């Protein structure tokens, strides 16, 4: 970090940032161009000449603009920021300075992603979200390449191509895009019970984050912290969002995928542009080496969590994202994360999934970024010095001087010198065994933690999970696949299996041999992690000609004071006429911003405005849809006419706030509380069409 509030990485990137304002157009060779709209030809109607170097260069560069998208996690959005530890309390466990030196702000670049969809797919599909953090530490780059769910589908890296082939669009017709609701994925799932725990997470609302800013992150694997004496401690990494963990609802996500496929990407971008910097707390679960076998699951099994009730999450520091990239391709697309990028004080374990990843990431960068020098691409360059004997390859960006490109040497004075105080030394784990292809027996229980997850859900979370299984399996054509999944679910919980079976036309299986163990882990439920804040929530205020301008202004001011964003929407853009003839500015026309793009809707008074809206199908649908999606709905005075038109009965309904004109302050307070609660999933919505 440097004095002006910018990070060292930001300053490093200054060297390659290019600004084209007040410049003249040139070729790649720096030659000024006289005309870029007409190719060179003999006569006005003649063919293009080979010698038109500007034309050839322009077209050739264009022809080569694309690089392969990531084979998974192709769709993503990223931002710059920093990490700072709260104190030095981890110094007893690790020599990693960025985790233990409270005065150090380490620059980071963080990329969020979906997994299955291609680069242009929609943001709000049902999927796991990637949460990849590159720390540019003074000791070199550390990448924490995690997800927003703490477990994974498979236990061994060798199964990854099978899993990804199953979840990606089917090979014969490349359908469906960015969706798990199809035969091949569920066929794989029914045949691989180790997927069961992760499928519970995938069918939960965790797969539908309202915002990247409102989701947890997990390192997933058990890693190792290593202290100055070389002693190890097992560690799991957790990111907790400051704004709480919040999700969309399924119907909403599907509609957003059409109305604004960039929903999560836009949300991240806008939050940073408006100074609402997203923030997470880093936490760690620590387990002593001698407690490796103290649990009824294996720490090396990535389909298992360590329940927080067994090992609490210890807060370590905070991550803040405060700068958007300048260029999507140069930064977000070219950033190369690799789980093998570790710094002294952090090491791996023998988790076979982690071990598989150690090979894959570097390998994939070589094809995706075109050769071994991708580490020299500005977004990937460490802040720490890079000095070694690696040479040549496509696009070498440095000019190594001297004769020595080998070790040992005398021609370069023996340099770069090997070892020294800051050198990385691997944790000296003793490993002894026969070469075998065999899964450990300690990895065999695929159901207990899936049951733990199910048991820990609130009633509405369970309803959403059942609905998700019914939807996904309802899209599966082959009956035996549906049946196979239900058989697996029966081992998680008999009621769950029966509820799913009833929705997909499959016979409910008999009660399982091993009944539900009844244990819970409250920390797993989103319902138990509420953060009551309306900050950065989007509220739509619906008006038409004849709106009560004073009320509109009062609610706008109140909503803004809560830190929420207030948009005034009307049947047309520009402005509407207020009750007293004054102009009420309109942020958007109704047809450009659907209700699914907001967290709440409010209808102020003004008889004429309310009457107009209550016979406007779009406005009626707007309110009905927000209601069925469990959002805060408010009406002031005559505004409640629109609620009646939307068939929202007199209530009371959770999160629906109706006020008379006399009590604006009380109304706004109650409405603010309803917005801060995020969604009201306990609301009965079945009778309202939307
Ligand atoms: Fe990845 N994964 N992965 N993965 N992964 C990639 O690397 C892979 C796994 C994760 O924003 C690829 O550069 C294997 C778990 C994220 O750029 C590839 C296995 C977790 C990202 C790859 C896994 C992840 C990737 C594709 C099983 C959560 C996006 C492009 C052994 C802890 C990073 C790339 C970004 C990307 C391989 C499993 C997270 C092919 C073989 C578990 C967040 O290398």
What percentage of the chain carries pLDDT values higher than 90? 96
User: 255-290 burial, b if ≥16 CB within 10 A, otherwise e?
Assistant: bbbebbbebbbebbeebbeeebebbbbbbbbbbeee
Q: Are residues 558 and 646 in the same domain?
A: yes
**The pairing of beta strand 565-570 with beta strand 538-542:** parallel
Q: DSSP state, 547?
A: B
pLDDT per position as a tens digit, 570-585: 999 999 999 999 999 9
Domain boundary, last residue among 475, 494, 528: 528
Q: Which residue pairs, CB below 8 angstroms and at least 24 apart, start in 296-300?
A: 296/445, 296/448, 297/442, 297/445, 297/448, 297/449, 298/440, 298/442, 298/443, 299/222, 299/234, 299/349, 299/351, 300/222, 300/349, 300/350, 300/351, 300/352, 300/440, 300/443
Domain match, 253 and 104 both: yes
Express as a percent the part of the chain with pLDDT over 70: 99
17 is an annotated ligand-binding site residue: no
Q: Residue 632 to residues 204, 294, 327, 400, 596: CA-CA distances in angstroms?
A: 22, 46, 37, 62, 12
| Residue nearest ligand 1's atom 24 by CA | 146
Is the domain of 251 the same as that of 194? yes
Q: Does the Cβ of 71 fall within 6 Å of ligand 1? A: yes
Q: How far is the CA of 236 from the centre of ligand 1 (A)?
A: 17
Residue 160 marked ligand-binding: yes
Q: What is the mean pLDDT of residues 334-348?
A: 98
Per the domain annotation, does 589 fall within a domain? yes
Residue 84 in any domain: the answer is: yes
Q: How far is the CA of 72 from the centre of ligand 1 (A)?
A: 7
Task: Answer yes or no: do 363 and 509 share one domain.
Answer: no
Please tell me whether residue 224 adopts helix, strand or coil conformation. strand
Averaged pLDDT of the chain: 96
**CA-proximal residue: ligand 1, atom 31 (nearest):** 157
Residues with a known catalytic role: 73, 147
Which atom of ligand 1 lies nearest, measured to the CA of 76?
Answer: 11
Give all strands (DSSP E) within 175-327, no chain letters: 217-218, 223-226, 232-241, 279-288, 314-323
Identify the domain containing residue 486 by its residue range.
451-528
- In which element (H, E) is residue 369 found? none
Are 494 and 616 members of one domain?
no
pLDDT at 1: 44
* Contact (CB, 8 A) for 278 and 271: yes
147 Cβ closer than 6 Å to some ligand 1 atom: yes
Residue 304 maps to which CATH number?
2.40.180.10
Write out pLDDT tens, residues 673-688. Answer: 999 999 999 998 888 8
Q: Are residues 192 and 210 in the same domain?
A: yes
Q: Does ipTM come in above 0.95?
A: yes
Average pLDDT over residues 158-167: 98
pTM (predicted TM-score): 0.97
**Residue 283's beta-bridge partner residues?**
238, 315
Strands 656-659 and 632-636 turn out to be parallel
**Same domain, residue pair 495 and 607:** no
Same domain, 481 and 627: no
Atom of ligand 1 nearest to the CA of 302: 42
Which pair of tokens denotes residue 262? 């960039």
Q: Which numbered atom of ligand 1 lies nearest the CA of 353?
A: 31
613 contacts: CB under 8 Å, gap ≥ 6: 542, 543, 544, 571, 603, 619, 620, 641, 642, 645
- Give the ligand 1 atom nearest the CA of 73: 29
Residue 357 sits in the same domain as residue 472: no
Higher pLDDT, residue 5 or 632? 632
Alpha-carbon gap, residue 455 to 164, rounded angstroms? 29
DSSP of 10-53, one letter per residue?
A: HHHHHTT----TT---B-TTS-B-S-SSS---SSTTSPPPTT-H
Q: How far is the CA of 456 from the centre of ligand 1 (A)?
A: 28
Q: Which of 380, 401, 423 is the last residue of a domain?
A: 380
Alpha-carbon span 690 to 680, nearest angstrom? 16
Give the burial class of 64: count Cβ atoms within 10 A of its Cβ; 0-12 exposed, 13-18 middle, 19 or more buried. exposed
65 found inside a domain: no
Å from CA of 510 to ligand 1 middle: 39
Half-sphere exposure in the Cβ direction for 80 (13 Å, CA):
22
**What is the per-residue pLDDT across 204-256, written as a single tens digit (0 to 9) for each?**
999 999 999 999 999 999 999 999 999 999 999 999 999 999 999 999 999 99
- The answer, yes or no, to whether any atom of ligand 1 lies below 6 A from the CB of 303, is no
User: Is 562 close to ligand 1, i.e. is its CB under 6 Å away?
Assistant: no
Ligand 1 pocket check for 355: Cβ under 6 Å: no
Cβ–ligand 1 contact at 482 (below 6 Å): no
> Predicted confidence band at 3 (pLDDT cuts at 50, 70, 90)?
low
What's the 357 CA to ligand 1 centre distance in angstroms? 7
CA distance linking residue 17 with residue 378, whole number of Å? 10
Domain contains 416: no
> Over the stretch 302-331, which tens digit does the pLDDT of each residue have?
999 999 999 999 999 999 999 999 999 999
Residue nearest to ligand 1 atom 23, measured at CA? 357
543 lies in the same domain as 461: no
Closest residue CA from atom 42 of ligand 1: 152
**Atom 38 of ligand 1: nearest residue by CA position:** 357
Q: Is 357 annotated as a binding residue?
A: yes
Whole-number Å distance, alpha carbon 544 to ligand 1 midpoint, is 49
Q: Which of 528, 559, 577 is where one domain is finished? A: 528
Give the burial class of 545: count Cβ atoms within 10 A of its Cβ; 0-12 exposed, 13-18 middle, 19 or more buried.
middle
The answer to whether the CB of 106 is under 6 A from ligand 1 is: no
- In this structure, the answer to whether residues 187 and 321 fall within a common structural domain is yes
- Flag whether 255 is in a domain: yes
157 lines ligand 1 (CB under 6 A): yes
Q: How far is the CA of 141 from the centre of ligand 1 (A)?
A: 17
pLDDT at position 529 is 77
Query: 504: domain CATH number?
Result: 1.20.1370.20
Ligand 1 atom closest to Cα of residue 360 = 44
Q: What is the CATH number of the domain that holds 554?
A: 3.40.50.880
Q: Was 111 annotated as part of a binding site? A: yes
Nearest residue to 641 (alpha-carbon basis) of 659, 660, 614, 615? 614
- Cβ–ligand 1 distance for 375 under 6 Å, the answer no
Q: Is residue 506 located within the same domain as residue 586?
A: no
Q: Is the pLDDT assigned to residue 2 strictly greater than 60?
A: no
Report yes or no on 444 lying in a domain.
no
Ligand 1 geometric centre to CA of 339 (Å): 8
Count of structural domains within the chain: 3
> Residue 42 and residue 48: Cα distance in Å, rounded?
8
The response to whether residue 357 sits with its C-beta less than 6 Å from ligand 1 reads yes
First and final C-alpha spacing in the chain:
51
Position 487 in a domain: yes
DSSP secondary structure code for residue 329 in this structure: I
**pLDDT tens track for 370-426:** 999 999 999 999 999 999 999 999 999 999 999 999 999 999 999 999 999 899 999
Residue 682 CA to residue 684 CA, distance in Å, equals 7
Euclidean distance between CA atoms 271 and 536, whole angstroms: 8
- Closest ligand 1 atom to residue 363 Cα is 44
Question: Ligand 1 pocket check: which of 108, 111, 129, 130 to mutate, most ligand atoms within 8 Å of Cβ?
Answer: 130
Is the CB–ligand 1 distance for residue 155 below 6 Å?
Answer: no
Distance from CA of residue 490 to its chain's centroid?
A: 31
At residue 5 the predicted structure's pLDDT band, cuts being 50, 70 and 90, is confident
Q: Is residue 62 in some structural domain?
A: no
């Amino acid at each position: 970090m440097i004095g002006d509030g910018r990070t060292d990485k930001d300053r490093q990137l200054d060297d390659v940032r290019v600004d084209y304002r007040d410049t003249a157009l040139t070729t790649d060779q720096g030659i000024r161009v006289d005309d870029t709209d007409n190719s060179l030809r003999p006569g006005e109607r003649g063919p293009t000449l080979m010698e038109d170097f500007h034309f050839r260069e322009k077209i050739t560069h264009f022809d080569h603009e694309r690089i392969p998208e990531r084979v998974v996690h192709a769709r993503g959005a990223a931002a710059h920021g920093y990490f700072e530890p709260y104190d030095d309390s981890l110094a007893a466990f690790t020599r990693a300075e960025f985790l233990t030196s409270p005065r150090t702000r380490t620059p980071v670049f963080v990329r969020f992603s979906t997994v299955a969809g291609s680069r242009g797919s929609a943001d709000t599909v049902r999927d796991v979200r990637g949460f990849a953090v590159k720390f540019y530490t003074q000791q070199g780059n550390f990448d924490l390449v995690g997800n927003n769910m703490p477990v994974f589908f498979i236990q061994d890296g060798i199964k990854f191509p099978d899993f990804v082939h199953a979840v990606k669009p089917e090979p014969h017709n490349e359908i469906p895009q960015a969706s798990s609701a199809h035969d091949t994925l569920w066929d794989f799932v029914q045949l691989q019970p180790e997927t069961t725990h992760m499928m519970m997470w995938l069918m939960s609302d965790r797969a539908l984050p309202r915002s990247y800013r409102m989701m947890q992150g997990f390192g997933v694997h058990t890693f190792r912290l290593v202290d100055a004496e070389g002693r190890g401690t097992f560690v799991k990494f957790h990111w907790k969002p400051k704004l709480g963990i919040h999700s969309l609802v399924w119907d909403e996500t599907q509609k957003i995928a059409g109305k604004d496929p960039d929903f999560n990407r836009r949300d991240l971008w806008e939050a940073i542009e408006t100074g609402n910097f997203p923030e997470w707390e880093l936490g760690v679960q620590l387990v002593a080496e001698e407690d490796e076998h103290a649990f009824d699951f294996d720490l090396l099994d990535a389909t298992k969590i360590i329940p927080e009730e067994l090992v609490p999450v210890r807060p370590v520091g905070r991550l803040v994202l405060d700068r958007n990239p300048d260029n999507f391709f140069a930064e977000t697309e070219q950033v190369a994360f690799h789980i093998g990028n570790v710094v002294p004080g952090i090491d791996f374990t023998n988790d076979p999934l982690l071990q598989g990843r150690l090979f894959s990431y570097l390998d994939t960068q070589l094809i995706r970024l075109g050769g071994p020098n991708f580490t020299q691409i500005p977004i990937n360059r460490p802040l720490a010095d890079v000095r070694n004997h690696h040479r040549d390859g496509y696009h070498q960006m440095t000019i190594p001087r001297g004769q020595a490109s080998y070790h040992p040497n005398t021609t370069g004075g023996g340099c770069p010198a090997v070892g020294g105080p800051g050198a990385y030394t691997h944790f000296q784990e003793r490993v002894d065994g026969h070469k075998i292809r065999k899964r450990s027996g300690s990895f065999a229980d695929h159901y207990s933690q899936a049951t733990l997850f199910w048991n820990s859900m609130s009633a509405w979370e369970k309803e959403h999970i059942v609905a998700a299984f019914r939807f996904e399996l309802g899209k599966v054509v082959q009956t035996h696949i549906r049946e196979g999944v239900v058989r697996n679910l029966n081992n998680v919980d008999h009621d769950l299996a029966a509820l799913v079976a009833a929705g997909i036309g499959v016979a409910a299986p008999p009660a399982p041999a091993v009944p539900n163990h009844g244990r819970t882990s409250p920390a797993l439920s989103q319902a138990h992690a509420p953060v009551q804040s309306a900050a950065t929530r989007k509220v739509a205020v619906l008006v038409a000609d004849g709106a009560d301008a004073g009320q509109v202004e009062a609610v706008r001011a109140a909503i803004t004071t809560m830190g929420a964003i207030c948009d005034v929407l009307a049947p047309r853009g520009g402005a509407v006429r207020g009750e007293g003839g004054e102009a009420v500015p309109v942020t958007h026309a109704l047809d450009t911003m659907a209700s699914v793009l907001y967290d709440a809707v409010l209808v102020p008074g003004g008889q004429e405005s309310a009457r107009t809206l209550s016979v406007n199908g779009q406005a009626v649908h707007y309110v009905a849809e927000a209601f069925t999606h469990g959002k805060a709905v408010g009406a002031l005075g005559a505004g409640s006419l629109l609620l009646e038109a939307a068939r929202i009965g007199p209530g009371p309904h959770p999160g629906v706030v109706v006020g008379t004109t006399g009590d604006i302050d009380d109304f706004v307070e109650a409405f603010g509380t309803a917005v801060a609660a995020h969604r009201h999933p306990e609301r009965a919505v079945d009778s309202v069409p939307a």
